[in-house]
Structure 1
Amino acid sequence: MNKKYLLKRLKSLKGMLRTAQQRAEDPATTEETLIEIETQVEEITAEINEVNDMIESLPDDESTEVVDVVEDLGAAVEEVEDAVDENITEEEVVEEPTQARSRVLGIIGKGLESRGEQKLGKLNKRSAFLRYLSGRLNQSQARSLGIKFNNGKVLVPTELSKEIISYVQEENPLRAAATPHKTKGMQGFPVQVKKADANIVEEERDDSNLIPFTDLEFDDVYLDPKEFDAIIKVTKKLTHMSDFDIEAIVLDELKSAYLRKEAFWHFSAPTNPGSLAKKAVEFVVAEGTVNKYLKLIQLKNALPTSMRAKARWMINRQAQTELESILDNNGNPILKDSGNEEFSHTLFTFPVIVTDYADEWNVSGSKYDPSKPMIYFGDFSYFHIQDVLGTLEIEPLRELIARENKVGFKIYHISDGQLIYGPFETPVYFLDILADGAVGG
């Protein structure tokens, strides 16, 4: 109702502007009349701007309280509308008022900009997409509202696709620290890795000892975009309960389902040769080191200085427990001022990210094992992620699980994420803080 009102009002106001435009373009219109038109147009565009501003402020879940605000914009504009519709008596044509005409037409042009309509169009498409998924619109109705389909799959609108990926970026800590690559094609994206260094000649050069050509070799490591898919289920009963925002529920579940799949691939997937668990180099502490605090210091100092600017720790909750349990000789926690304070989430001035996605993956049991402390440290910008633009699709699975009285959806995207580095650099380490029978703090 609100959006219909706003669109109707904008259409009416812009119709008034087009009428004024025709009069302003008429060579017979005098400068005096143009001044009158300019005053009318400024009042019309003022209301258009107010309506556009309210449309811009509409949340993506659609406002339900804007109609009253719009209706209170003032009765003055209605008078302008009547004035514009009135016929102007013919007047004697004087010299063509070029500057005044250009000024009035410029004001009209700005008023005809469809900023608000574009916003409403996005909201309409977003709402139509989610309503189609929840079964409240059929395919033909969704098509009429701008939703596109591809072999039974519905293409996620651009704005909604950005919303899903933005959510994943916020919740997947590797995405926040990684180097992204957005491509339009599904081919792998090459990342160059230096394999050999330049030759160094120490002797003083002369005619018989010229500078040789630099001997550098590079290896292209290709990201390999994979098809990510995840299935969610929603009960049919829920889709028919008007008290619930079923569209928001569906969207939240789609986001979470895709996030779990992607984070697993980035952190732990045994079939991903570049996953963090497979590619991070296990750090070997100095022989005889059992003190956990000293192990952390050794790991920190093992990272090259050139990589420390972007360095950070990435650990799971069990590792956080281990770090908070390190005590000094007086029984006080080393990494906190007191036992009542929260973990500061910095360690040796480097940020600490605590995430369950860092848990060890048990291949035989096909599940996470949160009991083992997992500690990664390094420059995670060496983790590269390729997203193939325009490939985010969702396929309804209504018939597949109809016997369960549920509606299912499969979200589909093409992407890849790998930790990539050369043979002479180690950007990310893994520390087994319990190795060597370490029992002391």
Structure 2
Amino acid sequence: MTKSIQDLREQRGAIAIELKALVENTKTWGPDAQAAYDSSMAQIDEIDASIRRISAFNEKVAADALDSRVAEATARAAHDGGNASAGRAVYQKWLRGGDAVMDAADMAVIRNVMSTTTNSEGGFTVATEVAASILDALKAFGGMRSVAEVIQTASGNPINFPTSDGTSEEGELIGENGTATDLDPSFDIRTLGARKYSSKTVAVPFELLQDSVIDVEAFVRDRLAQRLGRITNKHFTTGTGTGQPRGIVTAATLGKAGATGTATSVTYADLVDLQHSIDPAYREGGRGRFMMNDASLRNVRKIVDTTGRPIFVPGYEVADRGGAPDMLLGSPVTVNQDVAVMAANARSILFGDFSFYKIRDVMDVTLFRFTDSAYARKGQVGFLAWMRSDGNFVDVGGAVKFFQNSAT
């Protein structure tokens, strides 16, 4: 009997918990402990592969069901019906029928921002509840939103964060009747604006819009979130700060440079040095974490400490036993595919307190609906979303630093 994804996740979680106990409680790490560790990691990898295969199959089945208007689509009918709020209900109505089906009461729920040039290009600044669900869905893409501080504002006026680096400042010892020395702190400003992002146009078949059991809102929202999530995460990670957000990799400083011969690798000592390049104040309370590409994590999983003990412990999520993230040298790990893979001079691993990276979203998400001939002749309606967002690293004391692979 084929196991469900939930069954597989629970099985994975149980193995990960046992593995964590093995690493933490084994006093002398020998061949037997290593064999048990390798066997458990192999089981976890096999379960992860099974979860990915089942997920891919389910996605295909769901896509086929949407196209043929059968199967799983009916299970979502309740969400499309009376349980929706006024904002969501009007939003669904507009997605299906456009401006022609909207009345004055509907317009009062969602503010119309009709294009002044083409009647078919009607748009809406979607209801706050809908906008929040779109912005929340962006967390699934990349990793930056899961660790940064996200600020949501109603307008796009610039937000200034004063900064001051006092890590090198210290007081003085003065003798009787001595005069204190002047040492004025220096201040700087980090600004968060509201840069404009486009989802590119999402084409939806007429059949999808006309079928009342299809959750059109979820379909459109997920596609918009995928596209907006990927481009913004890339900029929050590696953006130059010129004409785009200043990414964390761009803003971070060097914590550890790999020795010659580590152009595509990292050592246990490198990771320890990177961890301790961050001031302890940023590591207190478990605030410090690693961030890297999944390909880099694959390499790191093979590293052992000076006693031969693996330094990586897989995370788990089990309903009745809580959960824990992947851990590396006692710190959580966040996978971000926009961080460079290990290569010559690559900034491939980050460590520090990522809460000092601020992401600012303007709550207004504007969606346009296109029914012109370019779409009509294909039996489609086009949707295009605009959102405003920005990101910047507001710390100047070295809260996040990077490991850089060697040139050769």
Q: Distance in 2 between matches of 1:227 and 1:188?
A: 13
One of 61, 68, 78 as aligned partner of 2:79: 61
Give the counterpart of 1:302 among 243, 261, 277.
277
Q: Output the CA distance in 2 between the equivalents of 1:398 and 1:326.
A: 56
**Which residue in the other structure is 1:13 paired with?**
none
Amino acid at match of 1:129: Y
Deviations 1:276-326 (A, max 9, x none): 232222333375685611111111111110111311111111011111233
With over 3 angstroms needed to count, the CA separation of the structure-2 counterparts of 1:241 and 1:353, relative to structure 1, is same
Q: Decide whether aligned partners of structure 1 residues 140 and 403 sit closer, same or farther in structure 2, where only a CA change above 3 A counts.
A: closer
Structure 1 CA distance for aligned equivalents of residues 77 and 129 of structure 2: 13
* Residue correspondence of structure 1 range 183-194 to structure 2 within 5 A: 183-194=153-164
Q: Report the TM-score when normalising by structure 2.
A: 0.64
What do the CA deviations read for 1:360-416 (whole angstroms, capped 9, x no partner)? 6xxxxxxxx9xx893211111111122234x22111133254444322212112221
Q: Please tell me the residue identity of whatever aligns with 2:300.
A: L
Instruction: Write the distance in 1 (CA, Å) between the matches of 2:81 and 2:304.
Output: 54
For 1:182 and 1:214, how far apart are their aligned partners in 2?
37
Take 2:129 and 2:209, find their aligned partners in 1: how far apart are those partners?
24
Change in CA separation of 1:328 and 1:170 when aligned onto 2, cut-off 3 Å: closer
The partner residue of 2:190 within 221, 240, 243 is: 221
Q: What is aligned with 1:279?
A: 251
Unaligned stretches of 5+ in structure 2?
1-75, 116-122, 315-323
Q: How many residues align?
A: 303
Distance between the aligned counterparts of 2:377 and 2:141, measured in 1?
A: 34
Give TM-score, length-normalised by structure 1: 0.60
Q: Distance in 2 between matches of 1:258 and 1:162?
A: 14
**CA apart distance, 1:157:** 0.6
- 1:397–1:333 CA distance, 2 compared to 1 (3 A): farther
The answer to whether structure 1 residue 406 and structure 2 residue 368 are counterparts is no
Higher relative contact order (CA 8 A, sep 6+): 2
3-state SS in 2 of match to 1:185: coil
Q: How far apart in 2 are the matches of 1:213 and 1:167?
A: 51
Alignment of 1:227-376 (within 5 A): 227-231=196-200, 232-242=202-212, 244-270=214-240, 271=242, 272=244, 274-285=246-257, 292-309=267-284, 310-326=287-303, 334-335=310-311, 345-359=326-340, 374-376=348-350
Following the alignment from structure 1 to structure 2, what is the Cα–Cα distance between the partners of residues 287 and 257?
38
Q: Which residue of 1 aligns with 2:35?
A: none
SS in 1 for 2:257: coil
Counterpart-to-counterpart distance in 2, 1:393 and 1:227: 11
Task: Give 1:266's aligned amino acid.
Answer: F
CA spacing shift, 1:403–1:292, aligned 2, 3 Å:
farther
Does 2:406 match 1:435? Answer: yes
CA contact (8 A) 2:290 2:349 kept: yes
- Tell me: CA distance 1:182–1:194, structure 2 relative to 1, closer, same or farther (3 Å): same
Query: Deviations for 1:243-278, whole angstroms, at most 9, x for unmatched residues?
Result: 643332122212222212321221133443621232
SS at match of 2:187: strand
SS in 2 for 1:247: helix
Relative to structure 1, the CA distance from residue 373 to residue 323 in structure 2 (aligned partners, 3 Å threshold; closer, same or farther) is: farther
Deviation at 1:355, TM superposition (A): 2.9
Secondary structure of the equivalent of 1:167? helix
SS of residue in 2 equivalent to 1:374: strand
Q: Match for residue 31 of structure 1?
A: none
Pick closer, same or farther for the CA change 1:217–1:163 going to 2, 3 Å: same
| TM-aligned CA distance change 1:239 to 1:279, over 3 Å | same
Counterpart code for 1:285: A
Distance 1:237 1:192, change over 3 A: same
Letter in 1 for 2:102: Q
Partner of 2:171: 200
Indicate conservation of the 8 Å contact 2:150/2:360, yes or no.
yes
Q: Which amino acid aligns with 2:291?
A: M
2:111 maps to what in 1? 148
Asked if 2 retains the 8 angstrom alpha-carbon contact of 1:315 and 1:376, the reply is yes
1:352 Cα offset (Å) = 0.5
Percent identity between the aligned chains?
Answer: 20
